[in-house]
Amino acid sequence: MRESFLHFLWRSRRFDAQNLRTTELQSIEIQVVGEQNTHAGPDFFNARLRVGETIWAGNVEMHLRSSEWIAHGHSNDPAYDNVVLHVVFEEDQPILRENGERIPCLELKGRIPPKLLENYERLEHEQAWIPCEHFFRQVPDIVRLNWLDRLLVERLELKTIAIADTLKATENNWEEAFYRLLARNFGLKVNAEPFEALARSMPLLTLSRHKSSLLQVEALLLGQAGFLGEKLKDQWPRDLAREYRHLAHKYALEPLPVSQWKFLRLRPANFPTVRLAQFAAMIHQSVHLFSKILDTNNLRELENLFDVQPSDYWRNHFQLDKPSIIREKALGRDFVHLLVINTIVPFLFHYGKTKDLEEPQKRALLLLEDLPPEENTLVDGWAALGIPARHAFQTQALIHLKTRFCDQKRCLECAIGNAILK
């Protein structure tokens, strides 16, 4: 049993509350359970209780055994001076205040419904893909669907934390912040960090001054990424290198170390050189991309914004000076959809919340409903349990449920887990 189970029992009052008494046999009446505290300090703030003939307003602390009060150092912590009730599974020793007065203690051992305790123990010790694998389909659809809706919003709000930080770093320049986030997601997981570092070292304003020339935009990005060294053989890379040397001198640029970019185990289409060439083509086509995204009305219009082709050199190259078979290097639809999910949707959502505009937030959610379901092992895992996803709205919620709740066994904070713990 974990202490979080006691928190669940207390906030949901899922224990036998008839004839409640302290371990000293004083009567207890719970009027307000209080607000759960997720930070340092007592577990519940602002509870309201009647203990004996006295009404107390204060905090509630919980432990599996009362002696943990001492083991956790609460006796010498003034943050616990206002605890009016100590709720434990078992009192193994009385706990005194500094003045020698005994802190009222409620022992829950023997007050937990047997079926509830049995279900909790099964969830706690289950080793399946998700703890409630054998119960999940028994939960009413309305409970599961409503919870997934809430999880999707929670997932978006978590993603907007990084957006808020980027906006602060760019002095609330929405275009620059969007450019940085878009760059990061162009790198996927493997090259996200170097792509973001590149965007920070190469401001959008600098690129915008040269947006009419694909040669110059590509030179700035590939050169700043460190790919335009001195020993280049092909004419196009040599032209890029010459242009970068000129612009680097003009803007006092220092290229990033080329060693930070990763190629190993990547499909050639995801090589950072190709992605940088595509990114350059996108900037060349539209430097104020976020403003244009705000003016779009549907997924098709968004897809058209990302319909770009890099320079002709990349038709038969995945890396500089290394010819390959001819293959179009336009941004694939699946990649564009990933950019919509990981960049455009959270950015629109955060923009709407920040500006107190409902329409961008609604549009962000509708975009997820228009996108096909993602294809990955987590989504496959849910499908194997009989929970197929119809669109990206559901896959994003299911991914959040698995990674943020199931994997961490946060069943007691999950609406599905709560429905199982009857």
Average pLDDT of span 220-246: 95
CA distance 293 to 263: 31
Q: Assess whether pLDDT exceeds 80 at residue 276.
A: yes
pLDDT score of 237: 97
Single pTM value for the model: 0.85
Query: How does residue 241 score in pLDDT terms, banded at 50, 70 and 90?
Result: very high
Q: Assess whether pLDDT exceeds 90 at residue 42.
A: yes
Which residues on adjacent β-strands are paired with residue 36?
A: 44
Q: Assess whether pLDDT exceeds 90 at residue 247.
A: yes
pLDDT score of 230: 77
pLDDT score of 135: 85
In this structure, are residues 172 and 283 in contact, taking their beta carbons and an 8 Å threshold?
A: no
Q: What is the rounded (10 degree) CA torsion for 157, 373, 342, 360?
A: -60
Q: Assess whether pLDDT exceeds 90 at residue 275.
A: yes
Average pLDDT of span 344-354: 97
pLDDT score of 214: 96
Which residue pairs from 397-403 have beta carbons closer than 8 angstroms and sit at least 24 positions apart in sequence? Answer: 397/148, 397/149, 397/151, 397/152, 397/155, 398/148, 399/155, 399/374, 400/151, 400/152, 400/154, 400/155, 401/147, 401/148, 401/151, 402/130, 402/378, 403/378
CA distance 18 to 29: 9
In this structure, are residues 310 and 329 in contact, taking their beta carbons and an 8 Å threshold?
A: yes
Mean pLDDT, the chain, whole residue set: 94
Element (DSSP H or E) covering residue 154: helix 141-169
In this structure, are residues 178 and 347 in contact, taking their beta carbons and an 8 Å threshold?
A: yes
Compute the residue count for the chain: 422
Q: Assess whether pLDDT exceeds 90 at residue 40.
A: no
In this structure, are residues 268 and 153 in contact, taking their beta carbons and an 8 Å threshold?
A: no
Q: What is the pLDDT of residues 57-108, one digit of tens each?
A: 999 999 999 999 999 999 888 889 889 999 999 999 999 988 888 999 999 9
Q: What is the pLDDT of residues 135-191, one digit of tens each?
A: 888 899 999 999 999 999 999 999 999 999 999 999 999 999 999 999 999 999 999
In this structure, are residues 1 and 88 in contact, taking their beta carbons and an 8 Å threshold?
A: no
Helices (H), 211-271: 214-224, 235-251
Selected residue with higher pLDDT from 230 and 392: 392
Q: Assess whether pLDDT exceeds 90 at residue 134.
A: no
Q: Write b or e for each residue in 123-153: b if 16 or more Cβ atoms lie within 10 A of its Cβ, otherwise e.
A: beebeeebbbeebbeebeeeebeebbeebbe
Query: How does residue 328 score in pLDDT terms, banded at 50, 70 and 90?
Result: confident
- State the sign of the Cα–Cα–Cα–Cα dihedral 382, 387, 390, 391: negative
Q: Assess whether pLDDT exceeds 90 at residue 421.
A: no
Percent of the chain with pLDDT over 70: 100
Query: How does residue 298 score in pLDDT terms, banded at 50, 70 and 90?
Result: very high
Q: Assess whether pLDDT exceeds 90 at residue 202.
A: yes
Q: What is the pLDDT of residues 3-15, one digit of tens each?
A: 999 999 999 999 9
Residue pointed to by tokens 């409640």: 20
